[in-house]
């Protein structure tokens, strides 16, 4: 078993062949809400230098909404989803135009990839995204990834691209993830506290987070806080990918493996991209309530959830949606992708597979959630 040290983690990041760099809205915009070209230009320089050393870089960039609400004459980031989507539609083009211009100074081409978290789990979309990203990297292009904020309605409220960046790192099999934000690392308490100390290295993100007090975004232009960044780190660690969390000003040193920000070691056990999405990025639409026998089977980790063990459902969801699995006392046991619509559940409750096939047809003779789509909580 590898025993990671700060030096070994940072050395691995410095030697990474494929790197995902994520930058948040607050690191790219002025207090007025307009896109800050000087900040964007400074960010491009270390990325271009990394590419010049034969590394492949994917840039996951927030900032479309923040770039758009200024030109639209809005005084601050809009709170309603339709106006956010409109601002993203205006801002995404501005954002890409500036990236294209700045990278062109170094002879580097860029390509735009707009995703939602759903694109990382639906098999056809996942494969398309993977093929496109890999081909762009093979061609020496820097893919610039953003959530498809102009169309997304659920994902637009979550993560500020943090979790998406970790899933993208999994898709491209990245060797390192660099999360750039408006603070210079993880602190043992809110950094505005005079007694706060920066944590330079986290060997096990799961064990460490219980002793750290973190807050939410207060920049006014981004939606993510430290919580979403640490979720991204957990996803990356579970993917076997080391991470660094630091400020945008430290992008160059972070890529070079210097002792800036907070370095996070990868974890031993890896999960697939699909299971990572279910566990960390999906937003359940409802819940399935199960009896004690089904609960025990699910917790065993090798069984699908069958209709015979389901006693009820809460919420409205469609086949393919993520849902919680809860016991009869309301405790959440797992998350998974349900294979039936919520209105179908009542007629399935408590019935065996043979009964379902006999009463409803062959199309109902399958698990409510397949074991490959179940993640324990």
Question: Residue 341, class by beta-carbon neighbours within 10 Å (0-12 exposed, 13-18 middle, 19+ buried)?
Answer: middle
Residues 178 and 293 in one domain: no
Residues 141 and 221 in one domain: yes
Work out how many domains the chain is built from and give that number.
2
The domain that holds 292 is classified in CATH as 2.30.130.10
Question: Strands across the sheet with 374-376, in order?
Answer: 310-315, 286-290, 322-326, 332-337, 374-376
Helix 226-238 / helix 162-171 crossing angle, nearest 10 deg = 20
On whether residue 1 sits in a domain, the answer given is: no
Question: Strands across the sheet with 110-115, in order?
Answer: 110-115, 142-147, 56-61, 18-23, 176-181, 243-247, 262-264, 201-202
On whether residue 96 sits in a domain, the answer given is: yes
Residues 200 and 302 in one domain: no
Residues 225 and 167 in one domain: yes
The reported pLDDT for the residue numbered 270 is: 61
On whether residue 33 sits in a domain, the answer given is: yes
Residues 161 and 309 in one domain: no
Helix 37-52 / helix 81-104 crossing angle, nearest 10 deg = 50
Domain boundary among the residues 227, 253, 277 is at 277
On whether residue 91 sits in a domain, the answer given is: yes
Q: Which pair of tokens denotes residue 287?
A: 């819940």
On whether residue 360 sits in a domain, the answer given is: yes
Residues 6+ apart with CB under 8 A from 32: 70
Domain boundary among the residues 259, 277, 295 is at 277
169 vs 362: CA distance, rounded Å? 39
Torsion, Cα of 223, 225, 229, 230 (10° steps):
-140
Range of the domain at 255: 6-277
DSSP 3-state assignment of 292?
A: helix
* pLDDT per residue as tens digits for the range 190-227: 888 888 889 999 998 877 766 666 655 444 444 446 87
Question: Residue 72, class by beta-carbon neighbours within 10 Å (0-12 exposed, 13-18 middle, 19+ buried)?
Answer: middle
Residues 207 and 353 in one domain: no
What pTM was estimated for this model as a whole? 0.77
On whether residue 46 sits in a domain, the answer given is: yes
For every one of its 377 residues, what pLDDT tens digit does the chain have, with 9 covering 90 and above? 568 999 999 999 999 999 999 998 889 988 777 789 999 999 999 999 999 999 999 999 988 888 888 788 888 888 888 898 898 899 999 999 999 999 999 999 999 999 876 676 666 777 888 899 999 999 999 999 998 866 665 534 444 688 889 889 988 989 999 999 988 999 988 888 888 889 999 998 877 766 666 655 444 444 446 878 888 898 888 888 999 999 999 999 999 999 999 999 998 666 666 776 677 656 788 999 999 999 999 998 888 999 999 999 999 999 988 899 999 999 999 999 999 999 999 999 999 989 999 999 888 889 999 998 898 87
Domain boundary among the residues 255, 277, 299 is at 277
Residues 211 and 79 in one domain: yes
Residues 179 and 317 in one domain: no
Nearest residue to 324 (alpha-carbon basis) of 310, 333, 316: 333
On whether residue 174 sits in a domain, the answer given is: yes
The domain that holds 103 is classified in CATH as 3.40.1160.10
On whether residue 42 sits in a domain, the answer given is: yes
Residues 144 and 189 in one domain: yes
Residues 307 and 259 in one domain: no
Torsion, Cα of 96, 80, 21, 3 (10° steps):
-170
Residues 311 and 187 in one domain: no
User: Distance between the two ends of the chain, CA-based, in angstroms?
Assistant: 25
Residues 66 and 147 in one domain: yes
């Amino acid at each position: 078993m590898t025993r990671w040290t700060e030096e070994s983690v940072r050395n691995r990041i410095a030697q990474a062949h494929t790197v995902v760099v994520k930058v948040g809205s607050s690191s790219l915009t002025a207090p007025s809400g307009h896109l800050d070209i000087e900040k964007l230009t400074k960010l491009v320089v270390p990325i271009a230098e990394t590419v010049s050393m034969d590394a492949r870089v994917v840039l996951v960039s927030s900032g479309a909404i923040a770039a758009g609400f200024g030109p639209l004459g809005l005084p601050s980031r809009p709170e309603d989803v339709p106006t956010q989507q409109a601002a993203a539609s205006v801002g995404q083009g501005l954002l890409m135009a500036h990236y294209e211009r700045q990278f062109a100074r170094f002879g580097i081409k860029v390509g735009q990839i707009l995703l939602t978290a759903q694109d990382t789990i639906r098999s056809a979309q996942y494969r398309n995204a993977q093929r496109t990203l890999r081909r762009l990297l093979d061609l020496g292009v820097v893919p610039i990834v953003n959530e498809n904020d102009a169309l997304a309605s659920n994902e637009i409220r979550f993560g500020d691209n943090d979790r998406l960046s970790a899933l993208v790192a999994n898709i491209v099999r990245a060797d390192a993830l660099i999360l750039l934000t408006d603070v210079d690392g993880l602190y043992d308490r809110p950094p505005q506290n005079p007694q706060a100390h920066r944590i330079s290295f986290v060997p096990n993100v799961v064990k460490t987070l219980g002793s750290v007090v973190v807050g939410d975004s207060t920049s006014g232009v981004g939606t993510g806080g430290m919580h979403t960044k640490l979720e991204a780190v957990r996803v990356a660690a579970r993917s076997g990918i080391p991470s660094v969390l630091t400020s945008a000003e430290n992008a160059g040193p972070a890529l070079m493996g210097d002792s800036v920000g907070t370095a996070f070691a990868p974890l031993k056990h890896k999960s697939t991209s699909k299971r990572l999405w279910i566990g960390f990025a999906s937003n359940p639409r409802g819940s399935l309530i199960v009896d004690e026998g089904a609960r025990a089977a699910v917790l065993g980790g090798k069984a699908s959830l069958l209709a015979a063990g389901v006693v009820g459902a809460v919420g409205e969801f469609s086949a393919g949606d993520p849902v919680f699995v809860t016991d009869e006392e309301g405790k959440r046991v797992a998350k998974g992708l349900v294979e039936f619509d919520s209105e179908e559940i009542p007629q399935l409750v408590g019935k065996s597979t043979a009964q379902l096939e006999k009463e409803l047809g062959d199309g109902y003779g399958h698990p409510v959630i397949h074991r490959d789509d179940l993640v324990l909580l």
